[in-house]
Amino acid sequence: MKVLVIAAHPDDEVLGMGGTIKKLSKQGHEIKIVIMATGIGARRSVNFKNKTKYSVTKNEEKTILKQIRDVQNHSRKAAKILGVKEISFLNFPDNEMDTISLLEVIKSIENEISNFNPEIVYTHTHFDVNIDHRICYQAVLSATRPQKGTKIKQVISYEVPSSTEWFFPSTFSPNIFVDISKEISAKKNALKSYKNEIRQFPHPRSTEALDSISKRWGSVSSFNNAEAFYLVRKLE
C-alpha cells in the first residue's frame, strides 16, 4: 500500500503521526512525506525565537535560508528513523501560505498524488490555529476529491500538538486510534532530530509531552500509547 503524508512544516509529520508512520513502514507499506512550507521564516529571527518585527535584514535572510537547509536535513534524518526513504520539500512560505493562490497549492498536491499514486492520504485537521495547516487541509480535500478510477480510498487528518489544541472553541474530535506502544520510542527519537525545534517540557514539542499525549489517547482507546486521527473520507 502507498501512503502519502502531507505536512505543512518540518516536524509536523513527527508530532502528528510519527508513531503511525513507523508502524506503517514496519508493515512494509511505501510511504512518502511531503513538507509544504519551509517552517523557519515566520519567526523573522536567526536564533529560533520569535521576533515581533516582520521585516528582516539581508544578513538575517541569508542565515534563515541556511537554517531552512539545516531543518530539511533534520527532516531527512527523522524520516530515516521512521523508515521513510522518500521525502519532498515544496518550500512554500512559512505561515504565509495564505498569500499563495489556493489553486497553486492544490496543483502542487495533485502533482504529488499523480507521481506517487497513493491509496491513503494523511494531512492536517482543519481545526487548527495555524493557517498553513488549515490551507493544507483545504488543498488536500480538493486534490483528493473522488473521481472515476481514483486510487485514493482514504483521507485522514491528524493533530499537531502546540497548534491544534488552540483552535477554540472548536476541537479536534478523533474517530481513529492507532496503537503506537511499540513505536513511541522511534517517534520521540525522530523528534530529537529536530534539534532546533524541540522544546523543554511542558511545551507540547517535547518528548515528555509526546509521551503524555500518547498516553492520553491510549487511555481513550485502551492502548498504552496511541495516536488519534479523524477519518475525513473513505471509499470502498
Write out the three cell numbers for 129: 490555529
Q: CA 140, 133, 41 angle in degrees (round to 5)? A: 125
Strand partners, 87: 33
134, 124 in Cβ contact below 8 A? yes
Can you tell me the distance from the alpha carbon of 212 to that of 31, in angstroms, rounded to the nearest whole number?
26
- What residues are paired with 4 via a beta bridge? 32, 121
Which residues are CB-contacts of 196 (< 8 A; sequence separation ≥ 6)?
A: 48, 67, 70, 71, 74
Pick the closest to residue 79 from 141, 26, 32, 125 (CA basis). Answer: 32
In which band, very low, low, confident or very high, does the pLDDT at 11 lie, cut at 50, 70 and 90?
Answer: very high
**Mean pLDDT for the stretch of residues 115-143:** 98
**pLDDT per residue as tens digits for the range 143-185:** 999 988 889 999 999 999 999 999 999 999 999 999 999 999 9
Task: Output DSSP code: residue 165.
Answer: G
> Which of 149, 119, 127 lies closest to 233 in space, CA to CA?
119
pLDDT tier for residue 220 given thresholds of 50, 70 and 90: very high
Query: Residues 193-198: what's their mean pLDDT?
Result: 92
Phi and psi (nearest 5°) for 146?
A: -60, 130
Residues 38-57: tens digit of each pLDDT: 988 777 677 777 878 788 78
Does the domain made of 2-234 have the CATH classification 3.40.50.10320? yes
Q: What pLDDT sits at residue 44?
A: 67
- Compute the half-sphere exposure of residue 154: CA atoms within 13 Å on the CB side of its CA: 13
Location of C-alpha cell 511545551: 203
User: Residue 118, SS3?
Assistant: coil
Q: Are 5 and 23 in contact (CB under 8 A)?
A: no
